[in-house]
Every structure is written in structure tokens, then in C-alpha cells.
């Protein structure tokens, strides 16, 4: 047998070596613990960052939705603003239109009479055979005289006549419209005569030869006998037409393109519109005065349209 050589290591050296290994192990454990803490911290930071990112995305989406909503609301408000700018209280308060041969303002006919409307024989027979009376025409709480339910098919239809109560109320509306135009902000319209709108009992103060004092005339009439009643009414109508001429001249100074459809002018001392006298002369047909008043309302509507157009342009500038 060969001899086995046993190397002996001192115990002190073994203990020292063991101590070094233990120190390395503790150091590795400490590093592992630090790395674990760093890993946990990193995981927390990543989770926090993801939460913040998701919150940021949600806030961004919410902001985009609010922006889109505000843009849609702004566009809607802009459309409404453009629509509202096209509205005007004068058009709603003073609606000028026509009803057959009559010009109307707020549903009130301005005119004396017109030619009868031809009706088919069948409708006339049906009207005479009906026991139900036709409905009365209403305007501003007033009721016109009832229509006659008995019409003979063989007889000629009578002309359509307008009661003076309706004519006077229509003239009151015209005077109120002209007064409103005069008081409109920055209108520049100023009448030589003084309008006193009082419904169907409207008056007009006429100033003669540049006088500062005005003489009041009734801008209403009826068929009752009055001393100089027809003459005074004609003076009031002519003065009312002069106010329309002054309003037209004021608008023409701002827009030379404005021209009245029916010219108001004096011919041999008589005021005419569309070559028809505005005064009611003795023996004159009521249909002529009806046409003259329809022309007058047409001119007033033309002035009103141009005045509103100029005011809307001045507001947008």
C-alpha cells in the first residue's frame, strides 16, 4: 500500500475562510434585498406612471369632447345669431300685406271699396241655401258688419265696401309705424308735421308755411255730416303722405339706390301717388282711392325694408 499523505489546514485559517464566506453571503443577501426593494419601487413607479398616463388620456378625451361640444354650441349660437339678426320687431308689429284689391296693415284693410269678386253659380246657390251665417271678420278685437247670407244668383254682386271703423284703425297703424320709424335710434327721420297715433282716432298736427305751431286735424272719418269734415280729412291724408315722402328722402340720402315703387308728387297742387290722388274727391270712385292707399302701403313697406337693411348693415360694421 502506498502511503496517503494528509495535508492538515490550520483551524484558524479555516475559520477565517469561513468568516470571509459568511461576509460575502451577507453582502449578497444585502444586495439581493436592495435589488428587491429597487424592483418593488420600480414596479410601484411603473404602476403609478400607467395610472397617470391613463388619467391623462381620460382627461384628454374629456377635453376633446368638451371642445367638440363647445364648438358645436358655438356654431349653433352663430346660426341662431344670424337668424335673429334677420328678425325685426317692426316687421312683426306692422305686417303690411294685401287682401285682394285692398292693402292691409296688421290685417286691417285700407281702402273704401273694390269691384265684386266673381263667384261661380254653384257656390252662390250653395251660399243662399245654407242656413249658417258667414263668420264675421275680426281684427284687433273689433268685428266687421256681418256679411249678407242671402245672395241672389241672378242679381249682380255689390262692390266690397270697407267700414270706416276699419279704415280709421288702419290709418292709426300707419301713423304709429311712421312715428316708430322717426323714434328709431339713429334713423335720421324727422317729420315736419306732428303725428299723434291714437288708434282709430288718430290725429295729425299740420304745420303750415314753416310755422312752429301745429293745427290738429282728424286722421279719421265716417259718413256722418260734418262741417268741412271731408276737406279736413283730405288735408290729414295729404300730410300723412308728406311724412312718407320725408321718410323716403331720408333713406335715399343714405342709399341712393332706394326708389319708391309709386312716386309721391304734386301735380297742379294735388298730391298724387302712382298718378292717383290721395285725397277723396267728390264723385271719385272708391276703387281709385283704394288703389292709391294700396300704393301708399307698398311705398311704406319699401321704406321699412330699406331702413331695416341699412340698420342691419350698420350693426354688423
Query: Looking at residue 219, what is its pLDDT?
Result: 93
Reported pTM: 0.64
Cα 251 to Cα 58: distance, rounded to the nearest angstrom: 59
The DSSP letter of residue 216 is E
The DSSP letter of residue 141 is T
Task: Please say whether the beta carbons of 158 and 116 come within 8 A.
Answer: yes
Query: What are the beta bridge partners of residue 21?
Result: none
Query: Looking at residue 126, what is its pLDDT?
Result: 43
Query: What is the DSSP pairing of strand 264-267 with strand 215-218?
Result: unpaired
Cα 82 to Cα 110: distance, rounded to the nearest angstrom: 34
Q: What are phi and psi of 301, to 5 degrees?
A: -65, -35
Query: Looking at residue 175, what is its pLDDT?
Result: 95
Query: Looking at residue 142, what is its pLDDT?
Result: 46
Query: Looking at residue 262, what is its pLDDT?
Result: 94
SS3 category, 149: coil
Q: Report helix angle 164-183 to 229-254, nearest 10.
A: 30
Cell of 73: 354650441
Element (DSSP H or E) covering residue 98: strand 96-99
Query: What is the DSSP pairing of strand 276-277 with strand 270-273?
Result: antiparallel
- List the chain residues with pLDDT less than 70: 1-7, 86, 117-156, 225-227, 283, 308-317
CA 303 to chain CA centroid, nearest Å: 17
Task: Please say whether the beta carbons of 300 and 177 come within 8 A.
Answer: yes
Query: Looking at residue 134, what is its pLDDT?
Result: 45
Query: Looking at residue 121, what is its pLDDT?
Result: 45
Amino acid at each position: 500500500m502506498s502511503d496517503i499523505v494528509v495535508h492538515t489546514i490550520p483551524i484558524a485559517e479555516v475559520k477565517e475562510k469561513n468568516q470571509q464566506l459568511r461576509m460575502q453571503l451577507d453582502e449578497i443577501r444585502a444586495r439581493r434585498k436592495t435589488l428587491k426593494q429597487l424592483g418593488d419601487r420600480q414596479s410601484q413607479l411603473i404602476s403609478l406612471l400607467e395610472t397617470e398616463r391613463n388619467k391623462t388620456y381620460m382627461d384628454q378625451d374629456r377635453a376633446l369632447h368638451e371642445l367638440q361640444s363647445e364648438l358645436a354650441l358655438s356654431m349653433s349660437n352663430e346660426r341662431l345669431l344670424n337668424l335673429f339678426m334677420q328678425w325685426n320687431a317692426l316687421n312683426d308689429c306692422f305686417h303690411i300685406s294685401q287682401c285682394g284689391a285692398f292693402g292691409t296693415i296688421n290685417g286691417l284693410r285700407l281702402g273704401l271699396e273694390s269691384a265684386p269678386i266673381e263667384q261661380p253659380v254653384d257656390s252662390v246657390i250653395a251660399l243662399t241655401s245654407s242656413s249658417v251665417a258667414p263668420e264675421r271678420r275680426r281684427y284687433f278685437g273689433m268685428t266687421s258688419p256681418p256679411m249678407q247670407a242671402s245672395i241672389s244668383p241672378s242679381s249682380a254682386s255689390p262692390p266690397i265696401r270697407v267700414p270706416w271703423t276699419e279704415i280709421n284703425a288702419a290709418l292709426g297703424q300707419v301713423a304709429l309705424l311712421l312715428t316708430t320709424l322717426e323714434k328709431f335710434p339713429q334713423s335720421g327721420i324727422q317729420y315736419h308735421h306732428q303725428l299723434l297715433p291714437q288708434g282709430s282716432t288718430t290725429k295729425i298736427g299740420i304745420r303750415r308755411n314753416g310755422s312752429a305751431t301745429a293745427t290738429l286735424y282728424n286722421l279719421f272719418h265716417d259718413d256722418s255730416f260734418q262741417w268741412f269734415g271731408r276737406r279736413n280729412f283730405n288735408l290729414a291724408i295729404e300730410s300723412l303722405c308728406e311724412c312718407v315722402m320725408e321718410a323716403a328722402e331720408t333713406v335715399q340720402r343714405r342709399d341712393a339706390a332706394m326708389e319708391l315703387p309709386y312716386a309721391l308728387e304734386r301735380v297742379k297742387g294735388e298730391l298724387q301717388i302712382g298718378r292717383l290722388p290721395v285725397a277723396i274727391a267728390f264723385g271719385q270712385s272708391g276703387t281709385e282711392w283704394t288703389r292709391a292707399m294700396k300704393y301708399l302701403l307698398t311705398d311704406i313697406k319699401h321704406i321699412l325694408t330699406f331702413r331695416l337693411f341699412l340698420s342691419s348693415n350698420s350693426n354688423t360694421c
